[in-house]
Each structure stands twice: as structure tokens, then as C-alpha cells.
Structure 1
Amino acid sequence: MIKVGQEKLSVADFEKVLYQGEVVELDSAAVKKVEHNFTFLKSYSQHKIIYGINTGLGPMAQYKISEDDQRQLQFNLIRSHSSGAGQPIAEDLSRATMLARLSSLMQASSGVHPSAVALLRDLLNARISACIFERGGVGASGDLVQLAHLALNLIGEGEVLVDGKLQSTKEVYAARKITPLDVHLREGLALMNGTSAMTGIGMVNLIHAQYLFTCSVILSAITNELMKSFDDHFSLELNHVKHHPGQSKVAESIRTLLHDSKLIRKRPDHLYHRKIEEAIFTDKVQEYYSLRCVPQILGPVYDTLAEVRKVVEDEVNSVNDNPVIDHERENVYHGGNFHGDYVSLAMDKLKIVMTKLTMLSERQLNYLLNDKLNQKLSPFINLGTLGLNLGLQGMQFTATSTTAENQTLSFPMYLHSISNNNDNQDIVSMGCNAALMTRKVIDNGFDVLAIQTIALAQAIDFLKCQPRLSSFTHKFYEEVRAVVGPVLEDKPLYKDIQAVRKYLVTLGSTTKL
């Protein structure tokens, strides 16, 4: 059980709710604060100008709203901004958005009626997910369009996702005896004015980025092992003199994964043990950078993951609403806590390092497939007849194309502000765009690493080195071969990529480095 409002929510908490079936509960003390906050605002807002309660919205805030129309204003806001386009976001992203919005409202600074948080909890536990469209939000007054679609579902309108299918919200609520949310004061604005879509998606991105990072360390270690690399480039002695925690962590993980390998070589045994007489060395003195510099390349990825995790966890546990209702100090503060720059920049950083990780995998794959580089394997690790059969040649095109797409997607959305809303929102974050593009980059990364995985298993078959593998690599090889067989003769390989991709998600989620 994940209790919201008691302790700060973490990436691990989101993982448990989204993928491990944990239910959500509301901390009773926090619910009482939500109720106190609502009661205070209801009294305090009488005969005062409070944005979004008795004023118009955005650049129309100069217009007074009569008491008779205030409730209708909230419905108008929700319905008018339910204007998203593109495809509905995936169910895990929708549920993450709902959990993120619930966390914000449970900070008791948004002036909502307690029924709002109770309904969000109930929908999460019933696995009824909001239908939220990809495009629409600019991330300045928060994710207005995406969260409007969430609010639309809460008031019983539009469609919801149930078991992956879109169904009428009205019909689902009627069948399950769910009472739609009523508007008491500012439930429309409080549900929409925030960063919860970009933040929820950001949480999902962090979960899968960690899986992808784990797989990248594993595949990089195995690539070094099969190429009989020297062990000094991932040694403690070399890496501890560079003072970056990520580099040391990656090197340590490689040492752990390969600790009992009989393929990894020690430099003194091969290059320091005798006086060298020859003018040209037949043994490679140093490995290519995609093998030798793995700690220095994946180290920054590790450190960036930690940095982004802190930003997104801080955001999900924050009040990202406007105005902020402070019942303890008995005041209402107007400002810009809904602005998404923190998350937008964090997502851009994350997608950049995920793209670099993908580039590393693509280069390691190229090394494995190019016999002139590795000088150990057949061209394209062909296990059939050279010339007649093509080995893994076709897969490389997919890996290269996908890597190029990631490079293009990694242009920073944080720098792509466009003024809108009658220039009221004159500088915006584009945070939800950044988060969704990061999701795409991570998805693409799994495809490239799946192709590298197939190549590594193929290389093991070619080298017939199973008895000399590290115990981890041997287990990895057997698991991959249980999913897909070796490529002996030419056949369609797209299903192999899909199957290995699923395996990598499991591997990344269950392996702790």
C-alpha cells in the first residue's frame, strides 16, 4: 500500500503502483488538512478578488465573475480546454499523471473539496485511467490541456481507459456506481493548473531509463568480455582517480559482472611480461573507445539519472498550483508554481543522456558486426554461408536509423518557448512535450539494445566460448537463447527484436547493479 500525503512519493513508489499492483491510500491526517484548506478558502474568498474563483481566467482575469456563475466557470474551464490532439497517452503514463496530481492536491494548498482526492484514489485503485491526449500543453500554466482531459473524466464526461480500451466515462461510472466529481469552489482550476502530466510522465521515464541504463552496463560489459578486453580500463585503480561517482559505479558494476570471466585479460600477462622486440604489435594495445571508455560514457548517464530523479521527485511532492491557498497563514498567494521549467530541463537532460547511451550501443554493435574492426567474428556475425546468407546485416540498418531518430529528438524543448494565450503566457516550458519525447527516446533505446543483445548471443555461438564466460554472462546467454534462437539462415527478424526487447525490460527491472 502506498499512502499519499504521509511521506514523500518516490520513483520506487510510482513503480509499485504502476507495475506491481500496489493500491493507493490517503493519509487521514493529510485529508483533514485538505478539508481545512477548502473550508478556509470558502470563507476567505467572500468579498475578495481571488483569481479563478470570482475572476475570469488567463488574460481575461480582469473580468469579474458573479457568484451565480462561479460554479459554471469551473465547468467551462474544463470543457473548453479539453482540446488535446494526437493519440491518447499510454495507460501507465495516464495513471502516473493521476498519481502525480493526487500528490499535489494532498499537500493541502489547492483549496479543493476532499471528494476530489478521494475520487482520484478510487479511480487509480479501480484501474480506470484518464484519456489524456499527447499534444496540447505548453507547460506554463501547467499542463492545462492534458490535465483538462483528466478533469473532464473526473466530472464524468469524455472517455476513460479501462483494460486498454476507450469507454464512455458516463457508462463506466454508472456500471461501477462511481459518483462524478462535483464542483464546489475551484476544482476545475485546481485540477488543471499544475505540472502533473509532465511530472507523472517524467516518473515513468525515470523508471524505464534506469532499466535501460542497467541493460547498457550489462551489454557493455559482455561486449568487452567477448572481445577479450584488458581489465585495467574498468579497474578500481584507474577509475578512482577521476572524481565522478557515476564513473566509479559503472566500473565497479563491470568488475562485478565479469569477476569470474576467463576471457577478460590482465595487461601485465600479455604486454608487460617480456621485452618487446617486434616493431609492429599484433596484439591491440588499447581497445576502441566504445569498449575502453564505458565508465566515462555511462558514468555521466548514472549521475544525470540521480540529478533528474531529485528534480522530478521534488516536483511531484510540491504544490504546483496557482494561486496557493495557505490556511495556516490565512492568505492566498498568486504566482507561478505551475510553470514547468524544472521538469522540462530535467527531461531534456534525461533524453540527451539516453540518446548518448543509445549511440554507445550502436557503436558497440557496429564493432561486433564489422569483422575488420573486431578481427574475431565473421562479417555481420554470419553463422550461415558467407555471401549467400546475410547474418545480422539487416538489423544494423534499424539500429542506425533508430539512433539517428534519437539524436534528432534530443533537441531541447526547454529552449523552444513560443508566446501564446494573448501573450499572457509569454515564456513557456514545453515540459510535457519534453517528457513525451524523452519517453520516445527511451523506447527507441530499448530497440537498439535489443539488436545488440541478439548480436552478442550470436557472437557467443560463433566463438563457442560458453565455458569461458563469466557466470553472469552465461546465465544471460541462456536466458536470451530461451527467448530467441541463433540466426543460422536468413529469416524475418522483427519478432526476435520485439521478444528480446521485452526480455531486456525484465532484465533491467530485476538486476541490481
Structure 2
Amino acid sequence: MTGTVTLVPGSVRLTQWRQVYFGAAVSLDEACRPQVEAGAKTIDAIVAKGDPVYGINTGFGRLASVRIGQADLATLQRNIVLSHAAGMGEPLPIAVVRLVMALKLASLAQGASGVRWSTIEHLAACLESSLVPVIPAQGSVGASGDLAPLAHMTAALMGVGEIFLHGTRLPATKALAEAGMAPLVLGPKEGLALLNGTQVSTALALAGLFEAEQVFRAAIVTGALATDAAKGSDGPFDARIQQLRRHRGQAEVAAALRILMEGSAIRASHLTNDDRVQDPYCLRCQPQVMGAVLDLLRQAGSTLSTEANGVSDNPLVFSETGEVISGGNFHAEPVAFAADMIAMALCEIGSLAERRIAMLVDPTLSGLPAFLTPKPGLNSGFMIPQVTAAALVSENKQRAYPASVDSIPTSANQEDHVSMATHGARRLLPMATNAANVIGIELLAAVQGCDFHAPMRSSESLERARALLRSDVPPLNDDRHMTPDMERAAALVVSGALASAVGSDMLPFVAEDVA
């Protein structure tokens, strides 16, 4: 995705965050500068006055009662960054870290954190120069902010740790030098302002949401294809049924399925004299299940959009009155709940699709050759891809246990309830990959099933989906190595190519502000 997203602090749309995640450049609307400078002046006045204010001239967490002298204020901010850079594990994906940086930029630029304009410019310049800090994935409990991962981000900007420069992992000092930038030197409160906040958990949850949306939209297409492959009915997608239930998502999914199947010769072939009265739930209840998924993803998206536009720092600076007030905006409970919703949605997308795959390979349910192979027995066909789909679905079920119901006290019980939002959000990308792989397997199976109905064709839109797959994956006439086929099919899901093939405007979007 190309182009530039201009961040207007507090007013960034969900679709803009999606663009940033998928690679768009980032700029900051500089109309926020007076607000930022007013916040920084408030901090300067507090420092000059010398009264104790948390995070400016005191210790942190349980050490908040310890006063710090004027001569040590710069060291205090540097120390909090270095001491808190204690993450573990593999680095977060570059796309996620770019989103973290953009979220932090939009938060700081609202002027409630008391940072200088030069610090905001430094963060923006790093984004512009493709300087992406290496942030270990583990180490945040989602309260007091995402302290450890944001400390790694900040330390890298200071020249400590490592940075990806155009994708190459380098020592931070070398990467900054190659980009022509000096290491960041922190002013009063700036270390704490950069560390406090929910930007890592929010970025991970947003990434999970955006990937879930890709999988969801592809699953509508494969669900329609599977319905045609099994010679299922489009009667359950009738608008009148949905109107009586009154759920918006259900109505939109049913409408998409109706449009996708409209004009299918396969469907027309069994409109009359079909002994089957009702299809299995995996076909018949697609609007109800996938509609509920859509509604849930939209609810999560609304929460994350609000969070992304908020300020989750502590303490907060109110320049109008010169006050700095401590609170709990760093607690990521809203993000934790949203991440749990997305996890459940991903689980159900894959679960329903796996049931359709199982139906297609079973000749007693689908009426198709066993395991979708022309010569069952000699060939195993789709026997094991269905097993793989079942394994992936079960793995997602295990991961879908709510993270938000867990808590563990930290910081000598000063921080005695935490959200686990970061852990809850971090599982979403692997879950989305699993679900995408299941949908890729369904795409292969459904297209193979439709092949058996030749010369009858499906609808124009579904035929475009079939042609897209068949341009890269030939029919399975005899057994062959299946993983390459499955990987190619999954790539069509993840890239959005499958949704685009049928006509992207036919399929519901999660974001309400989609252009």
C-alpha cells in the first residue's frame, strides 16, 4: 500500500491506521504544535518551581515517594528507559512497530504528555527514514503502559539497542548515523512519556483486526464457493429471514452470499426436485455465524479506534491550568477486551470453514467423490488437508482463551491489577495466519468440488475466484505434494486478492469509515 497518511492527533480514522499497518508513509499535521509547546512549557515551569510531581522529579512506581534533585533529572529519564528495556523474545514485526511509532506520535502530539516539539520531530523523522526499533515481543502485562517494549523503542531512538534500517538489523548508533540523525536526548518527563501508554498492545490488536478482516472477507467467498460445490441452497440467505432477526452483520453477510451466488448455473440445476430439505449448519447458518463475527469485529474496531486516538500516558499535563495529574489511562483493559473479541472471531471463522471442508470431502454429505479425488482409494485427495485444517482450528481454540480474565500483581504490589492486553493482542497474528491457512484449504476444496460439476458454471463473480486460483494451482487429478498448493491459496487470502477477484465492494468491511 502506497501513499501518505497525515495524522491529525485525536482524529485518525481506523482505515488510516490500516494504511499505516500495510506500509503507507506517515506525516504529522503540525497544527498541533502550539498545544505540544504549551505542554512542554508547563513541565518547564514545574521543574523551575521544584515542587514534587510524579515522573518529573520523583522515582517511579513504588519509588514515587523518592525525590530526585535538579542535577539528576536528565539521568532520571535516561535511567527509566534503560532499566525498563527488559523485554525478551523475538522482535515484533516491522509493520507492527511502525504502527506503534505512529500511535505514539499521535498520542504525544496532543500536548498532554509534556514532551518537547523536537522530541516529536525526532520520532517522526525516524518513521520517515525507515528507522524501526527492534522491540522484543515479550515483557508487557498491559498496565502502567507497555513499559518494556516502549522502553526498547525509546532506547533505540537514544542510540541504545538495535534498529531495522530499511529492513536491515543494525546497532542503533550505526543506524541513526547512517540516516544522518543524532541520538535522542531526553528532557524532563520525556522518558516516562515515551514509555507510558498502550501503543504496543493497541498496535498488535489493530494488526490482528486488519488481518482478521482480510480472512473474514475471503471466508465469505469460500463459503459461497463451498455452497455451490455441495449444491447447497441460497434460500437461507433470503433477506426476509435476516430482517426478522434484526442483526446488521447477519443481513450484510447474507446479502453478500446472495450476490456472490446470483446467476450460478450450478445453483439453478437443483432448484427443483432436490430431495434435501435443509443443508448442514455450516452452509445454512453462514449469515448467523459470520454476521455475528462481523458485528464482533466492528465492536472491537470501535474500541481500538477510540484507544488509538486517546492519550494513555501518566501523569497527564493540563497546560490551561498548569496542572499535572496522575491517573490510570495506561491501563489497557479496553484493548484486552477487544483483543479477546478478535481472538474469538478468528476462532469461529476457521471453525465454520473447517466444517465446510469436512462436509465437502465426505461423499455422504456432499454428493461429491470421496476426498474430492476422481480416483479415491488410489488417491487420498483432500484427506489430509482437512486434517491440517482441523489441527489449525484446534490450535486457535486453545489460543482463544480470554487473556483479559488474568491478572498478576507487579512493582511490589503498587501495580496490583493488570490487563494482559499485550499478551492477548500478540497471539492474534499467529491466529490470523492459522485461520487464513484454513480458508486457503477451503478455497482449494471448494474449487475442486465445483470442478466436478462441469460444464455447469458458478456465478460470474465466483468464476473469477475460481479462475484466480486455477491460474496458479491446477486441478488435483492425482495425488501430489499439497503444501505448495495450500501456501498459494492462503496467499490469495492474506493479500486480499481473492476478495478483489469477486469485487471488493460486494463484501462487508469491518471499518465503518472505509472509503
Q: TM-score, normalised by structure 1?
A: 0.94
Distance (whole Å) between structure 1 residues aligned to residue 122 and residue 491 of structure 2: 34
Secondary structure of 1:483's aligned partner? coil
Paired position in structure 2 for 1:303: 295
Aligned match of 1:496 in 454, 470, 485? Answer: 485
Distance (whole Å) between structure 1 residues aligned to residue 296 and residue 216 of structure 2: 11
Distance (whole Å) between structure 2 residues aligned to residue 138 and residue 400 of structure 1: 31
Does 2:217 correspond to 1:214? yes
Q: How does 1:314-353 map to 2 (within 5 A)?
A: 314-353=306-345
Distance (whole Å) between structure 1 residues aligned to residue 249 and residue 62 of structure 2: 46
Residue 61 of structure 1 deviates from its aligned partner by: 0.8
Aligned match of 1:270 in 250, 253, 272? Answer: 272
Structure 2's unaligned 5+ residue stretches are: 508-515
Residue 186 of structure 1 deviates from its aligned partner by: 1.4
Question: Deviations along 1:192-218, whole A, 9 cap, x unmatched?
Answer: 100000111122122111111101111
Paired position in structure 2 for 1:379: 370
Paired position in structure 1 for 2:110: 107
Distance (whole Å) between structure 1 residues aligned to residue 5 and residue 111 of structure 2: 18
Contact 2:204 2:428 in 1 (8 A): no
Residue 509 of structure 1 deviates from its aligned partner by: 6.4
Structure 1's unaligned 5+ residue stretches are: 272-281
Does 2:471 correspond to 1:482? yes
Residue type matched to 1:443 in 2?
Answer: T
Contact 2:113 2:317 in 1 (8 A): yes
Distance (whole Å) between structure 2 residues aligned to residue 181 and residue 22 of structure 1: 25
Residue type matched to 1:110 in 2?
Answer: S
Residue 265 of structure 1 deviates from its aligned partner by: 5.0
Contact 2:129 2:179 in 1 (8 A): no
Aligned match of 1:410 in 400, 413, 428? Answer: 400
Range moving further from structure 2, 225-234 or 447-456: 225-234
Contact 1:231 1:266 in 2 (8 A): no
Residue 442 of structure 1 deviates from its aligned partner by: 1.1
Distance (whole Å) between structure 2 residues aligned to residue 360 and residue 247 of structure 1: 15
Secondary structure of 1:160's aligned partner? strand
Query: 1:333–1:266: structure 2 CA closer, same or farther, 3 Å change rule?
Result: farther
Does 2:190 correspond to 1:182? no
Aligned match of 2:98 in 77, 87, 95? Answer: 95
Residue type matched to 1:462 in 2?
Answer: F
Aligned match of 1:396 in 386, 392, 396? Answer: 386
Contact 1:212 1:508 in 2 (8 A): no
Does 2:173 correspond to 1:170? yes
Residue 393 of structure 1 deviates from its aligned partner by: 1.4
Question: Deviations along 1:97-143, whole A, 9 cap, x unmatched?
Answer: 11111111111100111122212211222222121111100011011
Contact 2:10 2:310 in 1 (8 A): no
Q: How does 1:186-205 map to 2 (within 5 A)?
A: 186-205=189-208
Secondary structure of 1:263's aligned partner? helix
Range moving further from structure 2, 467-476 or 337-346: 467-476
Residue type matched to 2:58 in 1?
Answer: T
Residue 474 of structure 1 deviates from its aligned partner by: 0.6
Distance (whole Å) between structure 1 residues aligned to residue 92 and residue 297 of structure 2: 23
Aligned match of 1:365 in 357, 367, 370? Answer: 357
Contact 1:417 1:429 in 2 (8 A): yes
Residue type matched to 2:68 in 1?
Answer: I
Contact 1:362 1:448 in 2 (8 A): yes
Residue 507 of structure 1 deviates from its aligned partner by: 2.6
Distance (whole Å) between structure 2 residues aligned to residue 8 and residue 382 of structure 1: 53
Q: How does 1:65-104 map to 2 (within 5 A)?
A: 65-104=68-107
Q: How does 1:383-462 map to 2 (within 5 A)?
A: 383=374, 385-462=375-452
Distance (whole Å) between structure 2 residues aligned to residue 37 and residue 508 of structure 1: 48
Q: How does 1:21-100 map to 2 (within 5 A)?
A: 21-45=23-47, 46-100=49-103
Distance (whole Å) between structure 1 residues aligned to residue 392 and residue 24 of structure 2: 34
Residue type matched to 1:492 in 2?
Answer: H
Contact 1:210 1:508 in 2 (8 A): no
Residue 4 of structure 1 deviates from its aligned partner by: 1.8
Residue type matched to 1:372 in 2?
Answer: T
Secondary structure of 1:253's aligned partner? helix
Residue 463 of structure 1 deviates from its aligned partner by: 2.6
Question: Deviations along 1:379-419, whole A, 9 cap, x unmatched?
Answer: 11013x32121111121221111100000000011011111
Paired position in structure 2 for 1:471: 460
Secondary structure of 1:2's aligned partner? strand
Distance (whole Å) between structure 1 residues aligned to residue 376 and residue 279 of structure 2: 27
Distance (whole Å) between structure 2 residues aligned to residue 260 and residue 167 of structure 1: 56
Distance (whole Å) between structure 2 residues aligned to residue 226 and residue 487 of structure 1: 15
Contact 1:201 1:435 in 2 (8 A): yes
Contact 1:17 1:24 in 2 (8 A): yes
Distance (whole Å) between structure 1 residues aligned to residue 154 and residue 458 of structure 2: 55
Question: Deviations along 1:301-323, whole A, 9 cap, x unmatched?
Answer: 11111111110010011010000
Distance (whole Å) between structure 1 residues aligned to residue 499 and residue 276 of structure 2: 36
Distance (whole Å) between structure 2 residues aligned to residue 218 and residue 172 of structure 1: 44
Q: How does 1:143-162 map to 2 (within 5 A)?
A: 143-162=146-165
Query: 1:11–1:43: structure 2 CA closer, same or farther, 3 Å change rule?
Result: same
Residue 298 of structure 1 deviates from its aligned partner by: 0.5
Secondary structure of 1:350's aligned partner? helix
Paired position in structure 1 for 2:258: 255
Distance (whole Å) between structure 2 residues aligned to residue 322 and residue 153 of structure 1: 22
Residue type matched to 2:293 in 1?
Answer: V
Residue type matched to 1:485 in 2?
Answer: P
Distance (whole Å) between structure 2 residues aligned to residue 462 and residue 508 of structure 1: 21
Percent identity reads 30
Query: 1:338–1:6: structure 2 CA closer, same or farther, 3 Å change rule?
Result: closer
Secondary structure of 1:123's aligned partner? helix
Range moving further from structure 2, 286-295 or 160-169: 160-169
Query: 1:257–1:450: structure 2 CA closer, same or farther, 3 Å change rule?
Result: same
